[in-house]
Amino acid sequence: MDYTKILNEISEELSNFNNPGKVASYIPELSKVDPSKFGVHLYCTSGTHHAFGDTQERFSIQSISKVFSLSIVMRLLGDDLWKRMDVEPSGNAYNSLFQLERENGIPRNPFINSGALVLADILVSEFDHPKDKLLNFVRNISGVPSIDFDEKVAQSEKHHGHRNAALANLMKSFGNIKNDISTLLDVYFYQCSIAMNCEELAKAFMVYANEGKILNNDEEILNPMKVQRINALMQTCGFYDEAGEFAFRVGLPGKSGVGGGIVAIHPEKYSVAVWSPKLNERGNSLLGMETLERLTTKTGLSIF
């Protein structure tokens, strides 16, 4: 497959794309990002790379980080994790308090905010330095030791994270949060602030395309069954309440973030990261979704 030719075609086709999306503003620091940024990096299991655009500039990965925290917790707890959350699409906003109260403090899945807060709570319980554990995990699977938190984004989230605090307190009232609220919120806000570029994200997500192994050294990070389950969750729950739309249009497991990033994987073939900060009304990168739809259309390949 000539991915370079395909990406060049997509770049040309989208050069004058009318993008009515808007940059996320509820976290003020995210609103400062240049809305015209656009980059794609595709990393094949063969080790080859294909890219165009702004692929070397780091951005806040936001909810994409939930895949990393889920991976760590699944390695620790296995199926015991599912006693504290479900694996169903939410069908509601990713920060819904109503749904969480109706379901007695049990999040629908690990990729909505309440589910990610439970993951953060587990990290606090299991590790003396949970933020370091998470960061080292990302550095290891990407092979990039310079990846770090964006302090400005983390502080911006802290000052405007009242709804996440409400979610955590509501779950604590049901007994599904074990630790101090401010401690787990600190872990969660810093987790979302992790800054990576498209190439680094594509490298990190190769673990999920390569049966749980780091491509360059064959180190097994997750066993194949856990990878299958993470990929299934990305397919069904990775795009807030637009997961069905993404499955219909793109047909790959993936995860988005309100920083404008989307990462998708084709098992045993490639991982691909797209960054375009303008979001649609559901919080997903509008141009990113368009790009990935064209990629799977032109290759004729999806998981279906």
Catalytic member of 3, 94, 188, 270: 188
Q: What is the pLDDT of residue 130?
A: 98
Catalytic residue among 3, 208, 240, 270: 240
pLDDT for residue 121 = 98
- Bridge-partner residues for 285, per DSSP? 279
| Residue 258 a catalytic site member | yes
CA atoms within 13 A on the CB side of 5: 4
Q: Which helix H or strand E contains 263, and what residues bound it?
A: strand 261-266
- pLDDT per residue as tens digits for the range 163-195: 999 999 999 999 999 999 999 999 999 999 999
Specify whether 173 is catalytic.
Answer: no
| Distance between CA atoms of residues 48 and 140, nearest Å | 20
Tokens found for residue 281: 């009304």
Closest CA to 112 of 212, 25, 242, 293: 242
Set 73, 187, 258, 274: catalytic member? 258
19, 181, 264, 272, 300 from 293: Cα distances, Å:
15, 40, 11, 12, 10
DSSP annotation of 110:
T
Residues 222-256: pLDDT tens digits?
999 999 999 999 999 999 889 999 999 999 999 99
Please give, one letter per residue, the 3-state secondary structure of 65-91.
HHHHHHHHHHHHHHHHHHHCCCCCCCC
Helix 181-193 vs helix 162-173: angle between axes, to the nearest 10 degrees? 140
Instruction: Give yes or no: 182 in active site.
Output: no
**DSSP H stretches of helix in the chain:** 3-13, 65-77, 97-102, 113-126, 130-142, 151-159, 162-173, 181-193, 198-204, 206-209, 224-237, 243-249, 286-299
Torsion of CA 80, 112, 273, 187, to 10 degrees: -70
Which of the following is catalytic: 63, 69, 90, 256?
Answer: 63
Alpha-carbon gap, residue 132 to 242, rounded angstroms: 32
Mean pLDDT per 10-residue run, the chain (304 residues)? Answer: 96 94 94 97 96 97 98 95 95 88 96 97 98 98 98 95 96 98 98 98 97 93 96 95 93 97 97 97 95 97 88
Conformation bin of residue 235: beta by default, left when phi > 0, alpha when psi is -120 to 50? alpha
The active-site residue, picked from 66, 172, 203, 278, is 66
User: Which residues, in sequence order, are bridge partners of residue 254?
Assistant: 264
Q: Give yes or no for a contact between 201 and 259, defined as CB atoms under 8 angstroms apart.
A: no
Known catalytic residue at 63: yes
Give the pLDDT confidence score for residue 240 in this predicted structure: 84
3 state SS of 109: coil
Pairing of strands 254-256, 148-149: unpaired
Does 240 qualify as catalytic in the annotation?
yes
**3-24 burial, b if ≥16 CB within 10 A, otherwise e?**
beebbeebbeebeeeebebebb
Of how many residues is the chain composed?
A: 304
| Tokens describing residue 304 | 């279906």
> Hey, how many other C-beta atoms are within 10 angstroms of the C-beta on 285?
26
Q: pLDDT at position 93, please?
A: 82
Q: Which domains does the chain carry?
A: 3-299 (3.40.710.10)
* pLDDT score for 91: 82
What pLDDT does 216 receive?
86
Q: Which residue is listed with tokens 């995860």?
A: 255
